[in-house]
Amino acid sequence: MLRIAEHIVETKTSEFDPAFLEDRYRTVLIEKLKKKQADVPRKVVVAKPSAENVINLMDVLKRSLEAELPARRAAATRAMAHRRAAASKGSSSKRANARARKVS
């Protein structure tokens, strides 16, 4: 038996080249990972803002207030006119009531 085992080992002995060896598990795993990676959406790289694009918030706020100022003035003028009209209607009706009392 020992001679048969030595003969088998001598005939089957050769240089091992791993290039001829295929790892089927590794191959299947790589294919599945590639499919999964293809399904995942790519991350969008956000560009970093440059130092030239610096905004002064106080200037922006001042411009915003200046833009709102004419609208506020117009609203205040309308409100004032509305109050004056209401006051004049109220005072004229008071005068009419007072005249009616004097007449009676």
How high is the pLDDT of residue 79?
Answer: 83
How high is the pLDDT of residue 4?
Answer: 94
In the chain, the amino acid numbered 74 is A
Question: What ranges do the domains of the chain cover?
Answer: 56-104
How high is the pLDDT of residue 98?
Answer: 60
**3-state secondary structure string across the chain:** CHHHHHHHHHHHCCCCCHHHCCCHHHHHHHHHHHHHHHHCCCCCCCCCCCHHHCCCHHHHHHHHHHHHHHHHHHHHHHHHHHHHHHHHHHHHHHHHHHHHHHHC
pLDDT tens digits, one per residue of 45-82: 777 767 676 678 888 888 888 888 777 777 878 888 88
Please provide the distance, in angstroms rounded to a whole number, between the alpha carbons at the two ends of the chain. Answer: 147
How high is the pLDDT of residue 21?
Answer: 82
How high is the pLDDT of residue 26?
Answer: 92
How high is the pLDDT of residue 15?
Answer: 82
